[in-house]
Amino acid sequence: MEPEKKPENSQYINVVFNLPLNSVFTYALPEKGNYEGLDLTGRRVSAPFGRRDLTGWIIGHRDSLPEAVKEGKAVHRIVDDQPLFKKDMLELARWISNYYLCSLGEALAVMLPGGRKEKDLPPLGLGGDKNVGGRSEIVLSDEQAAALKEIRKREKDFYYLHGITGSGKTEVFLHLAEDVLVKGQSVLYLVPEISLTHQLVDSLSSRFQTPIAVLHSHLTPSQRLKEWRRIQSGEARLVIGARSAIFAPLEKLGLIILDEEHENSYKSGSSPRYHGRQVAMKRCRREGAVLLMGSATPSVEAWHLMEKGTICSLKLTSRPTGGSLPSISIVDMKNSKSLLSQELIQSMDQVLKKKKQIILFLNRRGHSYFFHCKSCGYEMKCRQCSVSLTYHKNRKRMICHYCGYQEKPVTVCPDCGSVDVGYAGFGTEHVEEQVRQIFLEARIARLDMDAAKKKGVLQETISNFRKGEIDILLGTQMVAKGLNFPGVSLVGIVLADTGLSLPDFRAGERTFSLIVQVAGRAGRYSDDGEVLIQTFRPENPAIALAASGEWEDFYHYERDAREVLGFPPFSRLIRIVHRGKNVNKPLESLELLTHRFRQVGIEDVMGPAECPLGVIAGNYRYNTLVRSRNFSEEHHLIQRVLEDTAVPSGVYREIDVDPVQLL
């Protein structure tokens, strides 16, 4: 890359675009406007690109055109009056582009808000008000106080509050946030889901007097830009947000809080596939800030770093509000004919008699999982994906949960004409039907993506449940995350095995953490909390050790298994997927790439193979997995091979560094 020049005499600017191209483009300054001597780095430009006009980012100035270029086209106009990013952010973007193997333009695109030219800019320099409020009446428990004291020593960069739900992690977060704000520094507070940002804004704005900015992907581009400017100007020094907020342009960053560290939503599902935790670690190291994570079920990676001492682990084992851990028992479903076991039904009955509440959890929505023919074994699958259709009884439809494809339900086998057909497996809709048949008097509500589609249903159901107007709440993950209901004394996990058979080495970890998280919803405020786990695999370690409370043992088990198999955290993975509508092209081009990897001496290459989800929305998918034990060296090789191996037209390449799922 050409050296970046000072703006004084420069007539040209270097621009990158949100394209999978690692090139920097040089343009002349716009004909209109007086930009002489001005440093334009960090602003957006509208520029001619081929036959199109694109918006790009100015990453520097230069005095002359590159030798190969004869005539420098001029950009149409400079979009921003003030830079969107400074040198620090540009460096972070370069790191993202290097680590996650994307172009600098793609990295900037994921970090910076889109949106048009802004109209009203906030006044600059409102920050620095040290009167931030933040006092609370709460007297910290001994464990909380000890954790706080340890972090204040600041002997490490990374800390982890490892504590059960309700152990008061938030209170420790807020004490530290206050410390940092009072010093005139800024705080970034990340939560795994957008819905949780609203709750947090409410509770933090009543506690702190300092202005709060919010960043997440559901803001409109202009809302995002507005928040961006409030943060940049120093007006808001406390930022709350979901994954993408990790790029908040805070200056004097003192603390990043990353709540529910184990959540996969911190990992981006599209290019660049960055992980919020990874970027947080990078930012904290670069900017001298503290990273404070928290969860009841750390990821195996984080747990490993705690064992090694890279992350300082602080344990919270009790609940300051009282309320002991619930008693957890396993119900073996192998001999059960029905969906709900006698044990679960009896417990539910008792809880209802005591006028307490119940949560039933099942990680699968819809009515039945798949349609199959008992004569020929035919399974009804999506026409465009290689997954079974789910029967949605309420909507009288068979639906693909990956692409949304729908069909009418059938009563005869489309393949052999047999009428001996049935629906197998079950989802939340089916559970609801059963529960209504058994508990005629109970007030029942279902909460899953289907139910929550209607606007307001989510908030309303949760609020009604909290008020005690619902006896049994059943649903998917939505009922498991971040919610506290004082009246709940029984949690039933209808089937704990749903995720275990997925072809993914993290299936066990995910099942374990889900059980522990769901179980944490019971008995937070009382001593008679009970959790019943229905399963066909009671002996599976993820289930058995979650239930027995031997959590450390689960991590040891999982660590040993990963070490034997050579999976993370004992190696790093890079996954390359080629997909396309054509059957052959994706595989052929990936074969070529995989061959090149082996040629340059990368040893541990698996593939190419069909992805477990071999077709999604009509796209054939193949993947190659590189497993690396000396990541920094091989990463470089991989980067070079990827840059040198063109992707044929009609094929799309996905690059996933440190993938969290392999489907």
Q: Which residues make up the interface to ligand ADP (CB under 6 A)?
A: 138-141, 144, 163, 165-171, 320-321
21 versus 138: smaller Cβ distance to ligand ADP = 138
149: left (phi over 0), alpha (psi -120 to 50) or beta: alpha
Look at residue 293 and give the partner it binds from Zn ion, ligand ADP, none, a contact being a CB closer than 5 to 8 Å depending on partner kind: none
| Smallest distance from ligand ADP to CB 488, Å | 14
From 148-156, 398-406, 564-572, 581-589, span contacting Zn ion (CB under 5 A): 398-406
393-401's contacts with Cβ under 8 Å and 24+ in sequence apart are 393/367, 393/368, 393/429, 393/430, 393/433, 394/367, 394/429, 394/450, 395/450, 398/371, 399/366, 401/365, 401/366
- Residue span 362-391 as binding mask against Zn ion, x where in contact by CB under 5 A, dash where not: -----------x-xx-x---x-xx------
224 versus 524: smaller Cβ distance to ligand ADP = 524
H-run or E-run covering 96:
helix 87-99
What angle is formed at CA 297 by the lines to CA 296 and CA 303, rounded to 5 degrees? 120
Axis crossing angle, helix 551-565 with helix 507-519, rounded to the nearest 10: 170
The single residue listed with the structure tokens 């996650």 is 100
Residues 401-440 that bind Zn ion (CB under 5 A): 402-403, 405, 413, 415-416, 418
Look at residue 415 and give the partner it binds from Zn ion, ligand ADP, none, a contact being a CB closer than 5 to 8 Å depending on partner kind: Zn ion
Look at residue 170 and give the partner it binds from ligand ADP, Zn ion, none, a contact being a CB closer than 5 to 8 Å depending on partner kind: ligand ADP
From 38-46, 392-400, 520-528, 540-548, span contacting Zn ion (CB under 5 A): 392-400
30 versus 320: smaller Cβ distance to ligand ADP = 320
| Contact predicate 606/625, CB 8 Å | yes
243 versus 621: smaller Cβ distance to Zn ion = 621
168 versus 607: smaller Cβ distance to ligand ADP = 168
505 versus 652: smaller Cβ distance to Zn ion = 652
- What are residue 620's phi and psi, to 5 degrees? -80, 135
| Smallest distance from ligand ADP to CB 323, Å | 9
Distance CA 430, CA 390 (A): 11
| Smallest distance from ligand ADP to CB 195, Å | 16
What angle is formed at CA 89 by the lines to CA 59 and CA 153, rounded to 5 degrees? 160
Look at residue 321 and give the partner it binds from Zn ion, ligand ADP, none, a contact being a CB closer than 5 to 8 Å depending on partner kind: ligand ADP
**Helix, coil or strand: residue 413:** coil
Look at residue 385 and give the partner it binds from Zn ion, ligand ADP, none, a contact being a CB closer than 5 to 8 Å depending on partner kind: Zn ion
| Smallest distance from ligand ADP to CB 204, Å | 13
Look at residue 320 and give the partner it binds from ligand ADP, Zn ion, none, a contact being a CB closer than 5 to 8 Å depending on partner kind: ligand ADP
DSSP H helices in 412-550:
428-438, 457-466, 507-519, 541-548
65 versus 146: smaller Cβ distance to ligand ADP = 146
DSSP states of 53-65? EEEEEEEEEESS-
161 versus 435: smaller Cβ distance to ligand ADP = 161
Instruction: Give bridge partners of residue 190 from the DSSP assignment.
Output: 241, 258
Distance CA 184, CA 498 (A): 48
333 versus 373: smaller Cβ distance to Zn ion = 373
How far are the Cα atoms of 344, 353, 385, 428 from residue 331, in angstroms, in the given order? 8, 22, 34, 19
Look at residue 127 and give the partner it binds from ligand ADP, Zn ion, none, a contact being a CB closer than 5 to 8 Å depending on partner kind: none
| Smallest distance from Zn ion to CB 425, Å | 17
Look at residue 197 and give the partner it binds from ligand ADP, Zn ion, none, a contact being a CB closer than 5 to 8 Å depending on partner kind: none
| Smallest distance from ligand ADP to CB 81, Å | 42
| Burial (CB count within 10 angstroms: exposed 0-12, middle 13-18, buried 19+), residue 647 | middle
| Smallest distance from ligand ADP to CB 166, Å | 4
Look at residue 382 and give the partner it binds from ligand ADP, Zn ion, none, a contact being a CB closer than 5 to 8 Å depending on partner kind: Zn ion
| Smallest distance from ligand ADP to CB 291, Å | 17
540: left (phi over 0), alpha (psi -120 to 50) or beta: beta
415 versus 552: smaller Cβ distance to Zn ion = 415
Look at residue 55 and give the partner it binds from Zn ion, ligand ADP, none, a contact being a CB closer than 5 to 8 Å depending on partner kind: none
Distance CA 606, CA 595 (A): 11
HEC secondary structure over 125-166: CCCCCCCCECCCCCCCCHHHHHHHHHHHHCCCCEEEEEECCC
| Smallest distance from ligand ADP to CB 140, Å | 5
Look at residue 373 and give the partner it binds from ligand ADP, Zn ion, none, a contact being a CB closer than 5 to 8 Å depending on partner kind: Zn ion
The neighbour count for residue 309, using CB atoms within 10 Å, is 9
The neighbour count for residue 335, using CB atoms within 10 Å, is 6
| Smallest distance from ligand ADP to CB 456, Å | 25
Q: Residue 316: which of 215, 169, 175 has the closest Cα? A: 169
| Smallest distance from Zn ion to CB 422, Å | 11
Distance CA 144, CA 320 (A): 9
Look at residue 403 and give the partner it binds from Zn ion, ligand ADP, none, a contact being a CB closer than 5 to 8 Å depending on partner kind: Zn ion
Distance CA 49, CA 70 (A): 16
H-run or E-run covering 602:
none
| Smallest distance from Zn ion to CB 218, Å | 25
What tokens appear for 8 in the block?
């004084």
Name the site residues for Zn ion (rule: CB under 5 A).
373, 375-376, 378, 382, 384-385, 400, 402-403, 405, 413, 415-416, 418
